[in-house]
Chain A
Amino acid sequence: MTKTISRRDFLKLGAASVGALAVGQMLPPMVAKAAKENGVLNAAGDGVISTMCEMCVWRCGVLAKIKEGRVVKLDGNPEHPHSRGNLCPRGQSGLMNTYDPDRVLTPLIRVGQRGEGKFREATWEEALDLVASKMTEIKNTYGAEAMVFSSTHNLSQPLFENLLYAFGSPNYGTQRSLCFNAMIVANLMTYGMEEPARIYDDKLKYILLTGRNLLEAISTSETSDLSHAIDRGAKVVYLDPRYTKTASKATEWLPIKPGNDLAFHLALLNIIISEKLYNRPFVEKNTVGFDELKKEVSRYTPEWAAPLTGIPAETITRIAHEFADAAPHTLAHNGWRTSNFVNSFHTQRAISILNALMGNWDVTMTEAAGEESGTLGAPPQPAYPRVSALRLDGVPWKYPVVPFKIGVFQELRDNIVSGDPYPAHGWFISRQNPIMSLPDRGKTIEAFGKLDFIVTVDIVLNDTAWFSDVVLPEASYLERYDPLLPVGDKVFLRQPVIEPQGEAKSALWIYKQLGERLGLGDFFQYEDEEDYLRQQLAPLGVSLEEVKIKGYAEAPETPHAAESAEKSWNTPSGKIELYSDTLAKVGFPGVPTWEEPPQPAEGEFYLLTGKVATSTQFGTQNNQLLHKYSDDPRLWINAKTAASLGLVDEDWVEVKSSVGQIHTPLLVTQAIRPDCLYMTPGYGHISKGLKTAFGVGASDSTVHVTFTDPISGGQALSQTFVTIKKA
């Protein structure tokens, strides 16, 4: 079914496009020319160029091996703290994204019906003029707020934000509410920061992972850290309804009942507080609200949690003791999604608080450096226009504690459908695929139907581009510059290692071109990508040429406050907030509080999703190398459950939720709770422009029901219940 090409063919393909560009436009290959001048490539065009991966959001350092103007191998950069010389399978396969035969290499304008996939090729001039005129028309007719902007977080995000805020729209969609809103908001409410960094040193003794499948959902350096900690003999307790690869390496696997991680953590807090196992001096000095917390958790005994979680009370008590005994060399990992239920915010708060009670700050957890470095420069720009329109995603009028930059993506989609509080008319989407990412695909397609104009920026004709009016081809991460990334005491560069193929252009170029056409040129005061980077580097006194050779520049970190100095947190009280007045003021419980999760009815199952090492969400299934080494997507079912339903391995079943149904073959396994089913997300692509991925597997977004955590705005991805029957 799937057409594969040999690597030799795709290398040829890459060479052909580069050649066509060079000859057709009589331009010397700039990347190779510059690299040769810098001595990175030899006269034949062979050598190694340092850049950064973009196969997920971890951004490993990459050394790209170039042969005759083509990238032939990617190795992990030993000097980059995120890769340390290693790459995961996605990183290794990155060049196949660039050389994907399905790349969109010229701007496209729709000619058929939406979703029909009929486009005609256009010049950048024509495509950009069309996009700008449509956006201006929408703004003039309905107001700037009728234009929605969304993008999945990436290094060019500051320029994307310039485009939307300068345009004057409050409607900013990110992917975050589909992922880790609960964790981010919980940490903001507790520590006043989005996500503290974790320290895996030799002394780390105890790690509690709540659904953080770190050995499959790979973040190269952290996966490596965890694996090495296990190897050294650190104890890992892992909560997951599924026996994942992480479960198989953990010291103890607890197949917890979905949605009840909160009960487990509340019971840990109960034991730790009632038996006074916490770090009293640290708590007294650095936290507020201990008494309120103590009062609330006093009712959450292990005996209370046992029937909810399916974990015996004595196990919960033992883990509380072990966790506290290992303090401060103990860590409760926040994870990204935990249990993915509407009570996940409280679960995340409980985890954050559990750490605080151990006094493990600056031992196993510390402040994360963040992506913005105060030491970097930026082009000048005017202030954004004042925006008074409400946001369609309910922030803050419905979700008062969700940060603007994070938003509630699924609510944005829902309100496009309802037209309440006002109708949207256009959607600008950059390297994002809401058709696949948002729950309830049918509803997302319905939202698209409400819009006059949709434009998508991507490297391939993804499912969202398939439904768009204009597709703007972005250069792949191996073909373009992006703004610099600070990591530790360095700033790292993503730079083109080969010439962009066809007409593909960087986001920096696309946003600037659009900005200028929209009369917003003042927000894009750079000549080109290199000029932008030079302005960033100016305060460091380092030349771009030097950074291009090394791949990074030294940038002194803002020094941490001296240890003796009074530690303060960026919360209203300046302390770690066990009780949050901010939450209480807007009507939410100030301390973590039990909320009963919904349960499947008789004959229904929990539908779980979770990552695998060979794919990133729904963006890598068309990569032929990953396709080659991925397991065929099947629906996991417990062997006993399957037997009781008369189903056997590889049977095809119909899976039905309240919003949709899919057909999929079964994987009968011991490695999952009997009341759960699991499917690998990101399959079931509907764009015929993705020739490798089209028709492979079933889509989780078709059956996922939209449930939003009222505090953090996070989508409760595990709260979908389904029935199955033999297809």
Chain B
Amino acid sequence: MTVIKHHAYLFDATRCIDCRACMVACSVENNIDMDKTRIWVAGLGVTGEYPELQRGTMVYHCMHCDHPDCMSACPVGAYTKAEDGPVTYNPDLCIGCRYCMNACPFGVPHFDYDKGIIEGAFIDKCTFCPQRIYNGQEPACVETCPTDALEYGDREELIAKAHARIAEHPTRYIDHVYGEFENGGTSYLILSHVPFSELGLPNLPETPVNEVSEKVMEMTIPFALGWGAVLTAVTTGVALYDNKKKAASKEKAETTK
């Protein structure tokens, strides 16, 4: 078996038959409560007017971003981006603030509103099945897929595979691998025959949102120090001027006495 440097998924919307085996497999493998899920179906489904129709659906779970916004937003460091791909969440550190839910551009982290702080486990999302991938198995969702719509492997290899597939069938696919660059790159890569927006995917810039926000945040202290210095200088200047003025007027008053 080839060594995987960066674990990733490739989803091909032209192959997905929306059977939901992946969703059931995930639920069982990860012991998900009956009223929760870590995989969703997105997309417009059937579009067009009878009988000129097409269909586009996508299954998705955590995109395991290279620059995870959840992690960036988390004030307590409950999220970790592993060097080999997975974005993991540590419930023990979580304080239930739900900043990650607002930060994630894909709406992945879900909050468990049924549980209190004492019962723990506030946020739920895909773990990348570490119990499987580090034991020579594919993630549960991938392994069961009867049409190979979901594949698993090394990110670089999957990207190459995706481009090769587009090259082989240029009329079948939109000439783009979603997630190769979006938001700075994700580990859930998507091929599609319909515009990605019809699969429910956001149009994201290549520069990750958090790269911008983090840069801004990094400037906070220098900015504060600089602005502080300016203000100090101004205050000092004003005070000096004021003193000078006061002294001058005092002098004037004394001379006019």
CB distance from B43 to the nearest CB of A (A): 12
Interface assignment of A671: CB less than 8 Å from any CB of chain B: yes
Option from A4, A92, A672 in Cβ contact (under 8 Å) with B28: A92
B29 interface residue, CB < 8 Å from A? yes
Query: Closest CB-CB distance, B52 to chain A, in whole Å?
Result: 9
| Docked CA distance A672–B27 (Å) | 32
Q: Is the CB of B34 within 8 A of A624?
A: yes
Chain B: minimal CB distance from A338 (Å): 20
CB within 8 Å of A: which B113-162 residues: 140, 143-148
A253 at the interface (CB under 8 A from B): yes
Q: What residue of chain B has the Cβ atom nearest to residue A215's Cβ?
A: B17
Q: Are B21 and A89 in contact (CB under 8 A)?
A: yes
* B17 with A245: CB separation less than 8 A: yes
Which candidate, A68-76, A351-359, A430-438, A645-653, is the interface stretch facing chain B? A68-76
- By beta carbon, the residue of chain B nearest A639 is B50
Task: Give the chain B neighbours of A638 by CB distance below 8 A.
Answer: 50
In the complex, B15 has a CB within 8 A of chain A: yes
Asked whether, in the complex, the Cβ of A613 is within 8 Å of the Cβ of B20, the reply is: yes
Partner of B19 from the list A89, A95, A672 (CB cut-off 8 Å) is: A89
Tell me whether B74 is interfacial, beta carbon within 8 Å: no
Does B51 have its Cβ within 8 Å of any Cβ on chain A? yes
Considering only residues 1-22 of chain A, those with a C-beta below 8 Å from chain B are 4-8, 11
Asked whether B24 is an interface residue with its Cβ less than 8 Å from the other chain, the reply is yes
- Given the interface contacts A92-B144, A248-B53, A638-B50, does A629 sit within 8 Å of B15 by beta carbon? no
B211 on the A face (CB < 8 A): no
Give B14 Cβ to nearest chain A Cβ, in Å.
Answer: 8
B148 proximity list for chain A (CB < 8 A): 224, 227-228
Contact residue among A93, A224, A246 (Cβ-Cβ distance under 8 Å from B146): A224
Residue numbers in A under 8 Å from B53 (CB-CB): 243, 247-248, 253, 670-671
Whether, in the assembled complex, B35 has its beta carbon less than 8 Å from a beta carbon of chain A, the answer is: yes
Asked if A670 and B28 make an inter-chain contact with CB atoms under 8 angstroms apart, the answer reads no
Closest B residue to A243 by CB, please name it. Answer: B53
Contact of A626 among B15, B18, B24, B31 (CB under 8 A): B24
Taking CB atoms, residues of chain B closer than 8 Å to A93 are 24, 28
Residues of A within 8 A of B143 (CB): 75-76, 85-86
Q: How far is the CB of A97 from chain B (nearest CB, A)?
A: 12
* A228 shortest CB reach to chain B, Å: 7
Q: How far is the CA of A625 from the CA of B28 in the complex (A)?
A: 9
Known: A7-B28, A87-B25, A629-B23. A249 touches B17 (CB 8 A): yes
> How distant is A137 from chain B, measured CB to nearest CB, in Å?
46
Check A218–B20 contact: CB distance below 8 A.
no
Query: Please, how many angstroms separate the alpha-carbon atoms of A348 and B55 in the complex?
Result: 30
A466 to B18, CA, bound (A): 34
Least CB distance, B93 to chain A, in whole angstroms: 23
Q: Are A670 and B17 within 8 A (Cβ)?
A: no
**Bound: A614/B27 CA distance, A:** 14
Contact with A248, one of B27, B37, B54, B169 (Cβ below 8 angstroms): B54
Which residue of chain A is the closest to B41 with respect to CB atoms?
A: A629
Report A237-252 CB contacts with B as 1/0, cut-off 8 Å: 0000001011111000
Chain B residues with a Cβ closer than 8 Å to the other chain, count:
35
In the complex, chain A residues 217-247 whose Cβ is within 8 Å of any chain B Cβ: 218, 220, 223-224, 227-228, 231, 233, 243, 245-247
Which residues of chain A come closer than 8 Å to B253, judged between CB atoms? none
Q: How far is the CA of A76 from the CA of B25 in the complex (A)?
A: 11
A contact residues around B49 at 8 Å (CB): 670
The answer to the question of A157 belonging to the interface, with a C-beta cut-off of 8 Å to chain B, is: no
Task: Kindly state whether residue B48 has any CB partner on chain A within 8 Å.
Answer: yes
B27–A76 touching, CB < 8 Å: no
Chain B positions within 8 Å of A196 at CB level: none
A255: interface (CB < 8 Å): yes
Residues in B whose Cβ lies below 8 Å from that of A669: 46
Provided the pairs A86-B145, A89-B19, A245-B18 are in contact, do residues A628 and B46 lie with their beta carbons within 8 angstroms? Answer: no
In A41-91, which residues have CB < 8 Å from any B CB?
A: 72-76, 85-89, 91
A7 touches B20 (CB 8 A): no
Interface residues of A in 590-640 (CB under 8 A from B): 613-614, 624-626, 628-629, 638-640
Contact at A73–B29, with CB atoms within 8 Å? Answer: yes
CB distance from A42 to the nearest CB of B (A): 15
Chain B residues with CB under 8 A of A11: 31
A216 at the interface (CB under 8 A from B): yes
A5 to B31: give the CA distance in the assembly, Å: 12
**Cβ contacts under 8 Å, A243 to chain B:** 46, 50-51, 53, 55
Contacts of B147 in A (CB 8 A): 215, 223-224, 227-228
A423 interface residue per 8 A CB criterion? no
Contact between A92 and B17, CB atoms less than 8 A apart:
no
Q: Which residues of B contact A224 (CB under 8 A)?
A: 146-148
Q: Can you report 27 A-B residue pairs in the complex whose CB atoms are below 8 A from each other?
A: A6-B34, A7-B31, A8-B31, A72-B31, A86-B143, A86-B144, A88-B21, A88-B146, A89-B19, A92-B24, A92-B28, A216-B19, A220-B146, A227-B17, A231-B14, A243-B46, A243-B50, A243-B53, A248-B46, A613-B19, A614-B20, A625-B24, A625-B34, A629-B27, A629-B37, A671-B53, A673-B50
- Known A87-B21, A671-B50; 6 more pairs at CB < 8 Å: A4-B34, A245-B55, A246-B17, A669-B46, A670-B49, A671-B53
The 5 closest A-B pairs by CB, nearest first: A248-B55, A227-B147, A613-B19, A92-B24, A4-B34
